[in-house]
Structure 1
């Protein structure tokens, strides 16, 4: 973190990030939830894990300084997509986190757990149970990986 400026936090994700920011705004709550930092919200409905690296390249080119903290809340829209299995997805997630860390070596990267879904639309599994097991497995695998890298 540079001296003389407030820490910068990027929150990157899918629709839930859009909804959280909208909720805070609608209820006239502080968009920085009481934190002494500058939060840059970047949510988009339908965003999948594979959108992460192109987005980070774009953001890095458009900003004058890297974030101090990056919170990534992606993955739910990538579970069960046609042609994607959970092993391929976790390999990509790990690889992308490692690459993001190389882009932003002084940034603390946090992975936000993939949340349960009521409706697993557009996914190929025949049961919500299978999707839920995959979600839990991915969260556990990413948690362990982030700890190996000294992150959260």
Structure 2
């Protein structure tokens, strides 16, 4: 604005400038600037309208400033396009399915996961009074989580614990302790059978299970603790393929059985001999098998208490578990039986 006023004053000071300025101020119609010769040759002339407006009062500009800012913000937000998230119906070509009401979903969950506790909640008060008056026959037997309830539903359960020398020493330790070889479970509900083989390699498991299946009734829960003797003797990828193949075969032999993979326990001898890569192989195998066995409807159990390389958990050979280590392993076997019983109660594969 200042540059324009300065240019007007400079032109008004020239010859005839005062008359030109008066004529501009008196004319109500704005002046029209003629097009340049170059533009006339290139195409039709364009009319450029120039209007000289008087300067605005500063107080009026300050009063109109908030309204102008509001107008600019509205234009800015109005011009911005609204981002719309593409729905799955546009991608798939089908209308989205509305979620079911909470009551309907809860009812379907009760039908699918109907346990004995949920059935007891829906009993009538008279039925509850009659059931409370009847004496329980197994009140003196130890209860392990959902194991007793699952046994009452399907009768006596067969549990097999199969593995290498760790299973051999765990079975001997269990006979010396108060919980016994049946791991404190009621013998009318559970029958735990130990099949331990010293120096067992994974490649021997299939033949052993075939012989056991021909001689004994099929197990309801199969706990496998093996693979530690193969680390460092078989390539990791070959061992993983062998384990996955055999687990699939075991599921075909016992389709209604809950498979539980007892993860490989570290050995103190690996650290003493500087075989740190054995520990890496152990972790890799445990992780891969734990993810694979879930696809078969099975479970994987990790021995966290035995992963600290505590010298008191091993014998002097730094390989086999001591009495304390065997007690911890037996406690883990108890937890595995509980988990397997609960899996069958909740409707595991083949149930």
TM-score, normalized by length of structure 2? 0.39
Task: Give 1:34's match in structure 2, choosing from 184, 194, 200.
Answer: 184
Deviations 1:40-92 (A, max 9, x none): 100011101111100001101111x20000000000001111xx200000000
What's 1:45 paired with?
A: 198
Task: Give 1:141's match in structure 2, choosing from 288, 312, 334.
Answer: 288
Bigger Cα displacement from structure 2, 22-31 vs 85-94: 22-31
Please report the RMSD computed on the Cα atoms of aligned residues, expressed in angstroms.
1.9
Deviations 1:98-137 (A, max 9, x none): 00000010111110000001125xxxxx842100000010
Deviations 1:5-62 (A, max 9, x none): 4100000001111111111112343211122310110001110111110000110111
Question: What secondary structure does 2:194 align onto?
Answer: strand
Question: What secondary structure does 1:119 align onto?
Answer: helix
Question: What secondary structure does 1:46 align onto?
Answer: coil
Question: What secondary structure does 1:77 align onto?
Answer: helix
Q: Which has the higher strand share?
A: 1
CA distance in 1, matches of 2:155, 2:285: 36
Alignment of structure 1 residues 61-100 onto 2, 5 Å: 61-63=214-216, 65-81=217-233, 84-100=234-250
Q: Does 1:104 align with 2:254?
A: yes
TM-score, normalized by length of structure 1? 0.88
Is 2:259–2:297's contact at 8 Å kept on the other side of the alignment? Answer: no
Bigger Cα displacement from structure 2, 53-62 vs 126-135: 126-135
Bigger Cα displacement from structure 2, 4-13 vs 128-137: 4-13
Question: What secondary structure does 1:93 align onto?
Answer: helix
| Unaligned stretches of 5+ residues in structure 1 | 121-125
Alignment of structure 1 residues 18-29 onto 2, 5 Å: 18-29=168-179
Is 2:206–2:246's contact at 8 Å kept on the other side of the alignment? Answer: yes
Alignment of structure 1 residues 95-134 onto 2, 5 Å: 95-120=245-270, 127-134=274-281
CA distance in 2, matches of 1:149, 1:101: 7
Q: Does 1:54 align with 2:207?
A: yes
CA distance in 2, matches of 1:38, 1:143: 26
Question: What secondary structure does 1:56 align onto?
Answer: helix
CA distance in 1, matches of 2:292, 2:158: 24
| Unaligned stretches of 5+ residues in structure 2 | 1-150, 300-351
> Which one has more relative contact order, counting CA pairs under 8 Å at least 6 apart?
1
Is 2:251–2:296's contact at 8 Å kept on the other side of the alignment? Answer: no
What's 1:123 paired with?
A: none
